[in-house]
Amino acid sequence: MNTLKRTSPLALPIENFIRLRQLCGRDYRSQGRLLGCFDRFLVQEGIKNTCITRQIIERYQSALSHLTPRDQANRICVVRQLCQYLTRNDPYTFIPEPMKTIWGYRARKPYIFSCSEIRRLMEQALELPPAGSLQPHMYHTLLGLLYTTGIRISEALGLNLKSFDVSKQCLYIAQGKFRKARWVALSDSASKKLQHYIDQRLNRTPNAPEDPLFLSKRDRRLYYSVAYQTFRSLLGQCDIAYHKSTGPCLHDLRHTFAMHRLLAWYQDGLNINARLPMLATYMGHVNIRSTQVYLQPTAELLEQVSNRFHDHYLRTIASKGGHS
Domains delineated in the chain = 11-104 (1.10.150), 115-251 (1.10.443.10), 254-280+292-323 (no CATH)
Tens-level pLDDT at each residue, the chain (324 residues): 444 578 999 999 999 999 999 888 777 888 998 999 999 999 999 999 899 999 999 999 999 988 878 888 999 999 999 999 999 999 999 999 987 644 444 457 899 999 999 999 999 999 999 989 999 999 999 999 999 999 999 999 999 999 999 999 999 998 776 668 899 999 999 999 999 999 999 999 999 999 999 999 999 999 998 999 999 999 999 999 988 777 899 999 999 999 999 888 888 888 877 888 888 888 987 777 777 777 766 556 555 555 554 454 455 555 655 544
Check residue 302 and give its pLDDT: 52
In which region does residue 285 sit, left (phi positive, over 0), alpha (psi from -120 to 50) or beta (all else)?
A: beta
pLDDT value at residue 14: 95
Q: What is the pTM of this model?
A: 0.66
* pLDDT score recorded for residue 308: 54
Of 159, 277, 308, 310, which Cα lies nearest the Cα of 222? Answer: 159
pLDDT at 313 (0 to 100): 47
Q: Give CA–CA dist 128/309, Å, rounded.
A: 45
| Cβ–Cβ < 8 Å for 6, 41 | no
Torsion of CA 108, 109, 112, 117, to 10 degrees: -50
> Cα–Cα distance between 162 and 185 in angstroms, integer?
15
Of 238, 225, 241, which Cα lies nearest the Cα of 128?
A: 238
